[in-house]
């Protein structure tokens, strides 16, 4: 029985824009595991109520239900240790956990500021009130005010990526010669943006741009084939 993944979806055109779900889809492909993707929208709370969760990703593998992209990655390495690993060892996993928190604090907010209005406009109509209310509470301002300075947000994003560039000048992936879960953590944020916004986040002469190209091509071009804007 194939693994099932509940995956955040936009309106009827089926764009998939959750950075956390993209982490998991890349991780499943990394491990060569078949998956049945089940589209889910913010207000479909009942569809995942069985998991005890209110948001996706939720992964169901036989009798095991796992939520949270980080826990899913750990589960996949533990359940399928003979397939390519997402973490090469304990120290790498611990440093990847730091990387996840760095990414969510230093990269995600700038991307959110950049794409927030495109994201909102692409949502299913039934999800728009939920999204506006929950995010305006989180940001402390209207979506329109939060996203007003797109050029400033893109400049801040590019500056925030600075610590990545020395490593990517020497190695193709965040994790070294081969991709690992830390690559998918960062890539999820870029695929989120690409899925719903035409904003140009990176310049083509940036080492991070070249890295993103490699990630778009991985696993048979899984991410590149997904509905989204050109990068």
Contacts with a copy of itself, residue ranges (CB under 8 A): 87-99, 101-102, 105-106, 162-167, 171, 173-177, 180, 182
Q: Shortest gap between Cβ of 106 and a copy of itself (angstroms)?
A: 7
Question: Quick one: 134 or 171, whose CB is closer to a copy of itself?
Answer: 171
Strand, coil or helix: what is 80? coil
Q: Shortest gap between Cβ of 79 and a copy of itself (angstroms)?
A: 20
Question: Quick one: 50 or 98, whose CB is closer to a copy of itself?
Answer: 98
Query: DSSP assignment of 149-171, as one string?
Result: -HHHHHHHHHHHTGGGHHHHHHS
Listed residue (196, 186, 195) closest to 214, CA to CA: 186
The DSSP letter of residue 85 is: P
Question: Quick one: 16 or 23, whose CB is closer to a copy of itself?
Answer: 23
Q: Shortest gap between Cβ of 102 and a copy of itself (angstroms)?
A: 4
Is residue 84 exposed (0-12), middle (13-18) or buried (19+ Cβ within 10 Å)?
middle
Quote the CA–CA distance of 122 and 128 in Å, as a whole number. Answer: 9
52: region left, alpha or beta (phi > 0 left; psi from -120 to 50 alpha): left
Question: Quick one: 39 or 167, whose CB is closer to a copy of itself?
Answer: 167
Q: Shortest gap between Cβ of 148 and a copy of itself (angstroms)?
A: 24
Handedness of CA 190, 191, 192, 196 (dihedral sign): positive
Quote the CA–CA distance of 148 and 132 in Å, as a whole number. Answer: 15
Q: Shortest gap between Cβ of 177 and a copy of itself (angstroms)?
A: 7
Q: Shortest gap between Cβ of 101 and a copy of itself (angstroms)?
A: 4
SS (H, E, C) 128-153: HHHHHHHHHHHHCCCHHHHCCCHHHH
Quote the CA–CA distance of 196 and 5 in Å, as a whole number. Answer: 21
Question: Quick one: 57 or 180, whose CB is closer to a copy of itself?
Answer: 180
Question: Quick one: 45 or 165, whose CB is closer to a copy of itself?
Answer: 165
């Amino acid at each position: 029985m194939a693994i099932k993944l509940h995956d955040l979806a936009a309106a009827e055109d089926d764009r998939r824009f959750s950075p956390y779900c993209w982490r998991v889809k890349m991780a499943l492909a990394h491990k060569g595991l078949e998956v049945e993707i089940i589209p889910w929208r913010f207000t479909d709370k009942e569809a995942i109520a069985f998991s005890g969760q209110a948001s996706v990703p939720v992964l169901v593998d036989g009798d095991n239900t796992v939520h949270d992209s980080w826990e899913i990655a750990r589960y996949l390495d533990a359940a399928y240790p003979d397939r390519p690993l997402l973490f090469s060892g304990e120290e790498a996993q611990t440093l990847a956990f730091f990387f996840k928190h760095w990414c969510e604090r230093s990269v995600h907010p700038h991307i959110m500021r950049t794409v927030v209005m495109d994201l909102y406009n692409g949502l299913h109509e039934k999800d728009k009130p939920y999204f506006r209310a929950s995010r305006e509470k989180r940001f402390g301002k209207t979506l329109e005010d939060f996203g007003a300075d797109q050029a400033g947000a893109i400049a801040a994003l590019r500056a925030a990526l600075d610590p990545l560039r020395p490593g990517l000048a020497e190695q193709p992936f965040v994790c070294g010669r081969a991709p690992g879960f830390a690559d998918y953590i960062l890539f999820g944020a870029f695929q989120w943006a690409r899925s719903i916004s035409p904003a140009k986040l990176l310049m083509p002469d940036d080492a991070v741009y070249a890295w993103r190209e490699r990630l778009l091509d991985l696993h048979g071009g899984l991410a590149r084939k997904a509905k989204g804007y050109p990068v």
